Amino acid sequence: MGRFADDVSAALPGAALGGVLGAAAFSNTSAEWLQIVVVLFLISTIFQYGFGRRERTFAVATWWFFPAQFVVSFLSGLIGAIGPILNTLYLNADITKEKMVGTKTAISLPMHLAKLGTYAALGALTGKLLLFGIAAGLGALLSNWLAKRVLTNMSELNFRVTVVGFMALSGAVMIWEQRETLLRIFPGST
């Protein structure tokens, strides 16, 4: 079994279990403030990686994939898409370019199916959420198709700079989406 299979095998149980528990918590909880914590991490990666110039920031063991995927899947089920947060783990495990896209796809599909089933079973799957899910799925298919064509000619450095940049951009978009929550937390800042 190669590194890809080891990483996927280690992460899949955590993805499914975390997705189910996060979706169950979503059905009964409001946790917008958690997105702010995720945002801070995503934006900090640009500094951790020296704007993409640093290859790794810590060493990763295969067993880390289960707990990391569990936590991220739980949070994803609770507060929405936070897949970019695992890019740090993949980069530090030397999973880059096509391997990262393949690994994330192999892990996220079962996680999203587990979340979808849980949302439906708990009555939290509205028509609007279903449309968002379909749109996200179609977007993922399109991005995987584009990634396959673009990544073959991209250097490792450019890939890392792009990944880290998109992580920070994702954080900025998420903070914009949570501006109402921030205004409630810091009411005098308007």
The whole-chain average pLDDT of the chain stands at: 80
d(Cα 109, Cα 106) in Å, to the nearest integer? 6
Work out how many domains the chain is built from and give that number. Answer: 1
**Structural domain of 106:** 3-189
Q: Which of 86-90, 100-104, 178-182 has the highest mean pLDDT?
A: 86-90
Select the more confidently predicted residue: 59 or 36: 59
Q: Which of 115, 118, 110, 106 is nearest to 133 (CA)?
A: 115
Q: Which of 91, 89, 87 is nearest to 54 (CA)?
A: 91
d(Cα 168, Cα 55) in Å, to the nearest integer? 17
pLDDT band at 44 (very low <50, low <70, confident <90, very high): very high
In this prediction the pTM is 0.73
How many angstroms separate the Cα of 75 from the Cα of each of 93, 137, 139?
22, 19, 21
pLDDT band at 187 (very low <50, low <70, confident <90, very high): confident
d(Cα 41, Cα 85) in Å, to the nearest integer? 8
Q: For residue range 152-177, what is the model confidence (pLDDT) as tens digits?
A: 889 999 999 999 999 999 889 888 88
What's the rounded mean pLDDT across residues 113-131?
Answer: 79
Helices (H) and strands (E) in the chain, counts: 8, 0
